[in-house]
Amino acid sequence: MNFLNYQFKKFFRSYTFIPPYITHIIWICIFYFYSNQNILSSYAASAIILFFISSWITFIIFDLEGNNEKHLLFIQLNSKIKFLNLKIFFSFISSIPLIIISFLFPIVTYRFSEAITFRYAFLSIYLHIVVVILGVILGSLIRIQTILSRKYSWLLLVLLTLLSIIKFILVNNQHILKYVLIIVPSVGEFLNYFNQPIAKLWCFDFLILNTNIAVYIVITLILINLIFKYSENH
């Protein structure tokens, strides 16, 4: 808890949170300029930018400390892996205000064509949480590697973010890409289900997709821990 408090103070005192937060708020205001929008498809579309923003925030949080300060924190926490996983967790909770904004803004400004029910609310919140988790995971995976410079890490992040959105389209056209793009989360395919009738969200295919996403998260977290442990020991 002390480490999370320290991260919170350092993050907000650095003012580095302002660009991603402002970018997201502007996007939400522009996107919901018109009223009478469909609930789930609107949330799915607005969540696309949240996927990138959560990765951006993760990059910022991993860059809060210099090498000397980072190694002092290793000693204080008595674990490099604990440091890593607390960073990942803090990256997620730092995106929670954006989830709240994304969810509440169209409701309080009456942007939807119908009243939001509990079922719609549950699915919408679930949608945003999954997207943010995937954004944090992808951002963490790219940021902990030590091969690419900071500039090229940003370029890789943008590339993989775009591939995550269009992956299901590419795979449908070239099935072999399913194996080539295995490192990329299926964000676009996941969001595409929310553009369909709500009954589609209770089908077996959507359950399988969510199971695959859960497996992807677990495996990628293990991979992140292994890469970080190796890179910090060499």
Of 39-48, 130-139, 141-150, 185-194, the one with minimum mean pLDDT is: 141-150
Task: Give the domain range for residue 80.
Answer: 2-232
**For residues 25-37, average pLDDT:** 91
Would you say 112 and 30 are in contact if contact means Cβ atoms under 8 Å apart? no
Q: What is the DSSP letter of 34?
A: S
Domain count, the chain: 1
Three-state secondary structure string covering 130-157: HHHHHHHHHHHHHHHCCCCCHHHHHHHH
**For residues 49-76, average pLDDT:** 90
Q: What distance in Å separates the CA atoms of residue 205 and residue 196, rounded to the nearest whole number?
A: 13
Question: Tens digit of pLDDT for each residue in 193-217?
Answer: 998 888 778 888 889 999 999 999 9
pTM confidence score: 0.93
Question: Tens digit of pLDDT for each residue in 184-197?
Answer: 898 999 999 998 88
Look at the chain and count its residues. Answer: 234
- Label residue 113 exposed, middle or buried (CB < 10 Å: 0-12, 13-18, 19+): exposed
**Side chain identity, residue 82:** K
Q: Is the pLDDT of residue 122 over 70?
A: yes
| Closest CA relative to residue 91, chosen from 194, 181, 224 | 224
